Chains A and B, each alone.
Chain A
């Protein structure tokens, strides 16, 4: 098990930030911890990174108690907000990280140059960090976390405060760079979980209120299907679709011959495709699109997101 959390609690004076949570994340799994601001996400991230000490309970990373050097060395951590040595350059910052981790010089230089290139920061490697915009700073924090090539990554609010383009770029970078790593994303933005994670855990007031697979959760709420047609849709196909019990809604695009369906049961999708084909519909594509995660999670979490 990569991350084992057992009854972890943290209080600041009388204010309880985490109220005894239990969570297990297997090695290589991708998990999104989704909750509103103040739910305890940042506290959990800081506890896992060894920056703070729990009031009660325990957590282990690869079997090592959090806070011990063996645990933190295995974990890449991206905080929010992430403070930097503003006067330094990204290259200097990553170089120092490599030195602190004891990475031999040649490997360190090779790795940091590769990280700068992979994360689209190579042209900024020599600029002072204070001149970097929000998106670049988030990707620089990701690069810093990846310098020691950690097995597990904890990312706090990867895209909060970023514009749509920078958010998309950050999510792409996360997906790309967390391949074959354990990933725990802590966020209040459902899209941050939907893109890279296979499991979603909901947290409210320091307590876990939801734990489900992203796709299972979406599947419970039906599926949208975009059907590309190479010609006219026969009336018989249209009639049979309208009569099918799983078809909740049907919309024809007025500009072309394509069709959009909303199915209440995703398992009925193959049957619907078969129905169309058997009715001589000229189907050219059949694209399933799950409903937005935010909508499905919000339903479970009383719309707090």
Chain B
């Protein structure tokens, strides 16, 4: 049983009465240990008055001990009174402090829904970001203008809207994908990645969750205005045309996602936002107009196997693959199914590369941090 502080002070008193320095020292040591044990069970602030009181008590005990050792037992009465008073106060203060509680069960750790929580946060952050606002505004503009042009044309169907929107949408979708993609892993550049990286999720899982969030944001920003235009068009009397609408929206979205994935791969490298932006814009130009021009020329100039290879490579451009989904009027267009595969391939490859880079090299340093 742990003795009370008051009891121990009485033993000190007895030691002084008997003029026994050994008993005084022994009791003083027990008193210190008893207080240390009691404080160890309490939640205390560093500047807690109870700690300051213990310090004063220790000092006074040390003086009392020294006087006992020197045989000045009569002089130690004042010190004993001070020790008695401080011990009493300490005992009362300890009674008022609850012992530190413990939680019986450990936390279960990150579950499958942790990725979804992270994806939702990423989606919200992207939609409310400046690139998100740009993409949403441009998308609304393109589809609204296409609707406006279709209202005066014949036949009055939604297919006319997509025909009008086709060219600007083919330019917009990759840019939208890139802008949303460079927002991906922005946490790492901004020094916020610790918020999710210390949650017990693997780096790969964080990249996948952020990619899911980016794709959800992309769907909202790119397809949201398109759906709005469909509803307004139907309200204005345009005939529905699901066989055209579904491939158009699906093709545009997949085109955008393939560029989002490419931008993710750039963002996974520890570099500044401007380097990421420059890299992704270069990839847009290379995979779109440059690729098209290079292989179209090769296809036209080549013969036999050369023309076939150029044709195949031309078909690997995500822009051309999306074009195949949107329209099959081009004699060199890919079948829609192959276009779908090409876009899915770019998306998977881009995200896999991003996940690999982050897993192997980490998130890199934030760009406002110390060197």
A100 to B193, Cβ gap below 8 A?
no
**A302 adjacent to chain B (CB < 8 Å):** no
State in angstroms the CA–CA spacing of A8 and B92 once bound together: 50
Most A CB contacts (10 A, CB to CB) among B79, B109, B191, B194 go to: B194
Question: Is A149 an interface position by the 8 A CB rule?
Answer: yes
Q: A176 contacts B199, CB within 8 Å? A: no
Contacting residues of chain B (116-158) with chain A, CB-CB under 8 angstroms = 117-118, 121, 125, 128
On chain A, the residues within 8 Å of B368 by CB distance are: 81, 83
A214 CB, min distance to chain B CBs, angstroms: 15
Q: Can you name the residue of chain A whose Cβ is closest to the Cβ of B109?
A: A102
Chain A's closest residue to B68 (CB) is: A277
Decide: A51 near B63, CB < 8 A? Known: A38-B371, A72-B200. no
A162 within 8 Å of B by Cβ? no
Contact of A149 among B78, B107, B369 (CB under 8 A): B107
Given A73-B109, A100-B199, the answer on whether A277 and B63 have CB atoms closer than 8 Å is: yes
Q: How many A-B residue pairs have CB under 8 A?
A: 164
**A83-B190, A99-B117 known; A284 and B63 CB under 8 Å?**
yes
Q: Name the interface residues of B158-194: CB closer than 8 Å to any CB of A.
A: 187, 190-194
Please report whether the interface of chain A is mostly helix, strand, loop or mixed according to DSSP. mixed
CA A42 to CA B78, docked complex, whole Å: 53
| B110–A277 touching, CB < 8 Å | no
A273 to B200, CA, bound (A): 54
**A171 contacts B46, CB within 8 Å?**
yes
User: What separation, in Å, do the CA atoms of A104 and B41 have in the docked complex?
Assistant: 27
| Residue B96 is within 8 A (CB to CB) of chain A in the complex | no
B125 engages A145 (CB within 8 Å): no
Interface centre among A77, A148, A172 (most CB of B within 10 A): A148
B117 to chain A, nearest CB (A): 5
Contact B60 A101 (CB under 8 A): no
Taken residue by residue from 72 to 91, chain B's Cβ proximity to chain A (1 for < 8 Å, 0 otherwise) reads as 10000011000000000000
A103 located at the interface, meaning its Cβ lies under 8 Å from any Cβ of chain B in the complex: yes
Interface residue count on the B side (C-beta < 8 Å): 58
A274 interface residue (CB < 8 Å to B): yes
A230→B76 CA distance, assembly (Å): 13
Min CB distance A234 to B, Å, is 13
Is residue B108 contacting chain A, with contact meaning CB distance below 8 A?
A: yes
Chain B residues numbered 8-63 whose CB sits less than 8 Å from any CB in chain A = 43-47, 55-56, 59-60, 62-63
How close is A33's CB to chain B, nearest CB, in angstroms?
A: 15
- Complex alpha-carbon distance, A73 and B111, angstroms: 12
Q: Is B336 close to A, CB under 8 A?
A: no
Give the contacts of B294-333 with A (CB-CB under 8 A): none
Q: A37-B370, A83-B187 are in contact. Are A176 and B45 (CB under 8 A)?
A: yes
Across the interface, do A83 and B191 meet the contact criterion of CB distance under 8 Å?
A: yes
Jot down 15 A-B pairs with beta carbons below 8 A, ordered by A.
A52-B362, A69-B201, A72-B200, A77-B194, A84-B195, A85-B192, A100-B201, A102-B107, A102-B113, A144-B195, A168-B47, A230-B78, A274-B66, A285-B63, A286-B59
Chain A to chain B: the 4 pairs with minimum beta-carbon distance, closest first = A73-B200, A83-B191, A100-B199, A52-B362
Known: A83-B194, A101-B199. 7 other contacts (CB 8 A): A79-B194, A81-B366, A87-B128, A100-B117, A101-B114, A176-B46, A283-B66
